[in-house]
Amino acid sequence: MKKLDWYILKKFLTTFFFAIFLFALIAVVVDISEKTDDFVKSGLGVKKIITLYYFGFIPHIIALLFPLFVFIAVIFFTSKMAGKSEIIAILASGTTYGRWLRPYIIGGAFLAVLLWFANQYVVPRANQIRGSFEAKYIDNNNSYNALVSTSSNIYLRIDSFTYAGIYGYDTLGKKGGPFFMYKVQGNKVVQNTRADGISWDTTTKKWRLESLIDRKLLPLKEQVAMEAIRFMNFNFKPYDLSRDKYTKDKLTSPDLQRFITLEELRGSEGLNDLKVELYRRSATCITVFLLTLIGGIVAGRKVRGGSGVHLAVGFMIAALFIITDRFSTIFSTKGNLPPLIAAWIPNLLFVFVVVYLYRKAPK
């Protein structure tokens, strides 16, 4: 790497980290003002609130707007360089346009790898902290959520022939009921099991069924067994039933992949949302790289209006990207668009934007 590379990389990374730090600080202040009443009702001290909530909130908000602030940082410092005719001097010295973009490629790749690692492991663990706090202290204080509660009924497929359901399942107490399970052969039910209650026994590591009635339907007769308590070893555990609105955000990528596979075996519906999240964690990293190149190419041209024009064009491109991303997600979660394609459509489209801008850029 030459002095030119270090010069541009230093400006790039310094501008980006300063901007993201300043935004994180503003986001924390705004969030505190919105949740002050909830913090007071929780009865927790400042140290507890910081460790139990903001250690999770800050990585979440940074990762959420990471690509946008990379884009803004690139446009801002490159526009300043263009306004001072530094880029004209660099290209006039015999440096090719591709050579001038090399530090942008290196910086974009570095930040893309950093975001990839964070999306796979760091941010999900941060969301566990944030999600647990919000579920316990904020969502419970919301009067709307208290009046309109989501259903706690769970339906699942245990294997290819067995289906089960739990009514009123409590994820905290790991119990619920009534419970039902039936086995099918062909188009006939051959076994029907019902229990008044089901709970997880921590000693035996099995499910405990209470007041159980087990009916087996044979060709010419019926067998009925009644038991006060029966322990059964199903292929699901309590943590597999703890699915809430934070599930896809709290699981690391390996855990999320395992969860999706398990839900597919059970025949669960509505998994496209989870799959889009899994694929987007990698796709967003390529987004950072593409936005770095777009920002450098757009802002590297000296125009009347300086940074204002560059920022305006930049925000138009960012808005177009966000709209494309939202539409593809909706078509996948609400329609039949494959999740992998939905996650990567914005990047595929913006590859052509990068190529077009590069060819049109004055060299």
Q: Is 31 exposed, middle or buried (0-12, 13-18, 19+ CB in 10 A)?
A: middle
What's the confidence (pLDDT) of residue 267?
A: 66
What pTM does this model have?
A: 0.76
For residues 139 and 126, what is the distance between their CA atoms, to the nearest angstrom?
A: 18
Q: Which two tokens stand for residue 234?
A: 């199903």
For residues 44 and 62, what is the distance between their CA atoms, to the nearest angstrom?
A: 25
Mean pLDDT per 10-residue section of the chain, whose length is 363 residues: 87 93 92 89 88 92 91 90 88 88 94 94 91 79 42 74 86 84 87 92 90 88 90 81 71 86 72 88 92 90 70 77 81 83 90 89 76
| CB atoms inside a 10 Å sphere around CB 242 | 14
Please state the separation of Cα 150 from the chain's center in Å: 21
Nearest partner of 90 among 32, 82, 234, judged by Cα: 82
What single DSSP character describes residue 267? T
For residues 69 and 67, what is the distance between their CA atoms, to the nearest angstrom?
A: 6
In total, the chain counts a number of residues equal to 363
Domains in the chain: boundaries: 3-142+270-360, 159-234
| CB atoms inside a 10 Å sphere around CB 152 | 13
Residue with structure tokens 């492991």?
121
HSE of 75 in the Cβ direction (CA atoms, 13 Å)?
Answer: 24
Nearest partner of 200 among 159, 241, 165, 151, judged by Cα: 241
What's the confidence (pLDDT) of residue 135?
A: 77
For residues 347 and 289, what is the distance between their CA atoms, to the nearest angstrom?
A: 10
What's the confidence (pLDDT) of residue 306?
A: 61
Query: What does the buried/exposed string (b/e) look like for 335-354 if buried means 16 or more CB atoms within 10 Å of the residue's CB?
Result: eebebeebbbbbbeebeebb
Q: Is 6 exposed, middle or buried (0-12, 13-18, 19+ CB in 10 A)?
A: exposed
Asked whether the CA dihedral 217, 218, 220, 222 is positive or negative, the reply is: negative
**Residue 244 one-letter amino acid:** D
